[in-house]
């Protein structure tokens, strides 16, 4: 027995010695070579739970193994779905999947300098980037490299990177009761966060991103206003992107019931329904106001008082305030629902109307002044002609009235 144990120990020692002489094909030992150049990435990777069973080559391939060698492979969703098939599937069913298309659908995107769009638009819309392998998305848009923490990505602060500024969902949430509780108590579970209501990968809402739905409506006035808003958003670009609005009332209703189920996890169902209906009512008023903005802009464009670019800018400003009213109402943010939303929309409508009226009046005044000036010039010319004619007639009369000299006999 003793000899057997000694033999096993010798064999184990020999095995370890051989392994130390032969480099592994892949695994954690490969990472040591990467650390000499990529220390920061390696440090973050060490913080990840994945560092226990993955190496650099599992995600980046083997083309790059040192300075001067090939480029490291960039992991795509196709790479990630090897371990995260469910997450990739849910992402593909959500709105972030179309982020890149939504950016390219806006005409002004192609008109701006690449240096601007690269740091302004692409930073966030790359969440739906289309890869050469056919997959879409950038997981590192939410899961920062190289830790790729699910917990980190589920924090509201992670969403705030992009959902701020002209897409101020994070700011709206932070100003709501939910956001205030989160700020005071931390992530205790008492205050719902972004993923609580919208999910971790599908990120869906009842109304869609731009707050529109199609289909039969009992409220004819609202339906007509929404049709104008939809047409304008198609002109501007956002409505051209897929999955940004509900295709029918039935589709909207199904999504709404799903949202009520989530709200009812904390609130009474009747309360949740009433609160969401308040958001619907505010969206209706915002649509009616935006429809008036659209009509005003079109009227003055047709009359030749503004050019197409000015009309586009009026559409854009009204759309931004409508968006704030819509999202502010559903996020319980008074500042965005009222100040930045409906109040700004109506105030802008009044200001644009006053400006257009002034422009029209100035145009009329210029026209009348031009007419008066023309009449004045014509009158002056007529007077000069009349005076010259009188002068000629007078000279002719004087000549004809002189006595003729008598001839010599």
pLDDT at 140 exceeding the cut of 50 = yes
Same domain, 332 and 213: yes
Mean pLDDT of 310-328: 92
Is residue 351 domain-resident?
yes
**pLDDT tens digit string along 362-372?**
666 666 666 66
Omega into 146 within 30° of 0, i.e. cis? yes
Is residue 115 domain-resident?
yes
Same domain, 144 and 290: no
Domain count, the chain: 2
- CA separation for the pair 19, 26 (Å, rounded): 13
What is the domain range of residue 137? 44-61+74-153
- CA separation for the pair 179, 72 (Å, rounded): 41
Closest Cα partner for 237 from 319, 155, 297?
319
Res 191: pLDDT: 93
Same domain, 121 and 227: no
Same domain, 271 and 361: yes
Res 15: pLDDT: 47
Same domain, 252 and 103: no
SS3 321: helix
> Range with the lowest mean pLDDT among 27-41, 46-60, 147-161, 199-213?
27-41
Q: pLDDT > 90: what percent of the chain?
A: 44
pLDDT at 7 exceeding the cut of 90 = no
pLDDT at 247 exceeding the cut of 90 = no
Same domain, 147 and 223: no
Res 253: pLDDT: 93
Closest Cα partner for 296 from 361, 355, 339, 343?
355
pLDDT at 272 exceeding the cut of 70 = yes
Is residue 244 domain-resident?
yes
Mean pLDDT of 147-162: 92
pLDDT at 52 exceeding the cut of 60 = yes
Say which DSSP state 55 is in.
-
- pTM value is 0.76
Is residue 117 domain-resident?
yes
Same domain, 145 and 218: no
Res 9: pLDDT: 53
Res 2: pLDDT: 53
Same domain, 212 and 301: yes
Q: Which residue has the higher pLDDT, 63 or 8?
A: 63
Same domain, 248 and 317: yes
Q: pLDDT > 70: what percent of the chain?
A: 80
pLDDT at 351 exceeding the cut of 50 = yes
Mean pLDDT, the chain, whole residue set: 83
Same domain, 142 and 214: no
182-271-344 Cα angle (round to 5): 70
Is residue 354 domain-resident?
yes
Is residue 400 domain-resident?
no
Is residue 182 domain-resident?
no
Can you list the alpha helix ranges (DSSP code H) found in 93-176? 99-104, 107-111, 114-120, 122-125, 150-153, 156-159, 169-175
| End position of a domain, from candidates 88, 122, 153 | 153
Same domain, 246 and 115: no
| End position of a domain, from candidates 153, 170, 194 | 153
- Residue 244 has a CB neighbour count (10 Å cut-off) of 20
Mean pLDDT of 257-272: 94
pLDDT band at 126 (very low <50, low <70, confident <90, very high): very high
Same domain, 147 and 57: yes
Mean pLDDT of 223-240: 87
Mean pLDDT of 5-20: 47
Is residue 191 domain-resident?
no
């Amino acid at each position: 027995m003793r000899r057997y144990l000694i033999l096993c120990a010798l064999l184990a020692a020999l095995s370890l010695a051989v392994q130390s002489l032969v480099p592994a094909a892949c695994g954690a030992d490969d990472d040591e070579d990467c650390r000499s150049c990529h220390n920061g990435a390696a440090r973050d990777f060490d913080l990840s739970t994945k560092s226990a069973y993955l190496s650099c080559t599992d995600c980046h391939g083997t083309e790059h193994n040192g300075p001067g060698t090939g480029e490291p492979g960039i992991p795509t969703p196709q790479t990630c779905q090897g371990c995260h098939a469910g997450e990739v599937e849910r992402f593909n069913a959500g709105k972030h999947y179309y982020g890149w298309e939504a950016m390219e659908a806006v005409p002004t995107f192609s008109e701006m300098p690449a240096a601007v769009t690269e740091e302004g638009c692409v930073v966030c819309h790359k969440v739906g980037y289309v890869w050469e392998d056919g997959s879409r998305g950038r997981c590192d848009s939410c899961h920062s490299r190289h830790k790729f923490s699910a917990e980190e990505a589920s924090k509201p602060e992670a969403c705030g990177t992009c959902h701020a500024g002209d897409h101020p969902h994070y700011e709206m949430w932070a100003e709501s009761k939910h956001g205030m509780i989160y700020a005071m108590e931390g992530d205790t579970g008492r205050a719902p966060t972004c993923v609580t209501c919208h999910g971790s990968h599908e990120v869906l809402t009842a109304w869609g991103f731009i707050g529109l739905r199609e289909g039969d409506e009992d409220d004819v006035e609202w339906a007509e206003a929404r049709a104008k808003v939809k047409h304008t958003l198609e002109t501007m670009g956002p409505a051209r992107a897929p999955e940004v609005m509900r295709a029918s009332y039935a589709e909207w209703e199904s999504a709404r019931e799903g949202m009520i189920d989530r709200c009812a996890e904390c609130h009474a169902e009747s309360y949740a329904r009433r609160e969401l209906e308040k958001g619907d009512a505010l969206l209706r008023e915002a649509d009616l106001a935006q429809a008036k903005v659209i009509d005003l802009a079109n009227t003055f464009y047709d009359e030749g008082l503004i050019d197409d670019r000015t009309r586009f800018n009026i559409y854009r400003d009204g759309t931004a305030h409508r968006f704030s009213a819509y999202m502010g109402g559903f996020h319980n943010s008074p500042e965005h629902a009222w100040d930045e939303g409906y109040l700004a929309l109506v105030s802008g409508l009044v200001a644009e109307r006053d400006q257009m009226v002034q422009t029209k009046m100035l145009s009329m005044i210029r026209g009348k002044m031009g007419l008066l000036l023309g009449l004045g010039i014509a009158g002056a010319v007529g007077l000069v002609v009349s005076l010259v004619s009188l002068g000629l007639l007078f000279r002719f009369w004087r000549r004809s009235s002189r006595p003729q000299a008598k001839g010599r006999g």
